[in-house]
Structure 1
Amino acid sequence: MRTIRRLIEAKKIEREENGEAGFSLIELIIVVVILGILVAVAIPIFSNIQTSAEENSLQTAAASAATAAAAAVAADPEATADEIKTAAESAADGAGITISVTGETVDAICATATGYEKKVSAGPACSDADKKVTAAVAAG
């Protein structure tokens, strides 16, 4: 390590004596290596942020759909399943997110949001297992 440091210092002194300005090749290589290490650390962090954002988007869509469905039932106790589903879908209009609703009373509503190859449910009739983000099972 000392020999590298001495070599760099000797090259600096030589450049200063000759009137040369700029960086040596070794200094540029060191900078490139440091930048490579920083990028290698940053990529997984950004990947985790994107996954977290997708999961939060699904949870928000499911909760909004369950709230809208419950509000539709509370406003009109005679609301049909199609009216409840329409209200839920209009509340959770996320890109690429599909909403499905079960139940026709305020206490029996469970809204499921599916997207990003994941799914999550929200509502009073949903089980605790359904309220966690899980991988969506492909239909067909």
Structure 2
Amino acid sequence: MSDQGSMLAQPLRPPSVGRAVLYVGLFVLGAVVGAAGSLVQSGWFPGGLLLALAGEAGLCLGGAWGTGSRAGAVAPAGGWMLAVILLTASRPEGDFLFGAGTGSYLFLLGGMATAVICATLGRGRQPGGDAVRLGK
């Protein structure tokens, strides 16, 4: 057996500076993907919507696999959500980016569902070694 104990029982350690910069970069990329997706989804309706959601899914899953943690999927999802929510607000001049069509609602709800799915599929904290397997 391992001397470390359960991974859940250990105190949380703050991320290193390099990892924190990586998460901030993923957050910014998520905001860029959200802004680009909001423009593409209405321009080419059926294909643009699928392209925008696939871009978000690729970024979230790539972030999770690249960092080896679920936080790698949550950071770009947070940036995506912030950008999309800021873009849904109307301006004082009356300008707006999202119309009241079905595609806009599918983009908003589908993007949130994609973020949750990607964060769920992302790898969680797993202890390593043979001592953590049952029967060893």
Bucket of the pairwise TM-score, normalised by the shorter protein: 0.3 to 0.5
Please state which structure has a larger fraction of its residues in strand: 1
Report the TM-score, using the length of structure 1 for normalisation: 0.34
Q: Which structure: larger Rg?
A: 1
- The structure, 1 or 2, with the larger RCO (C-alpha pairs under 8 Å, 6+ apart) is 2
Report the TM-score, using the length of structure 2 for normalisation: 0.34
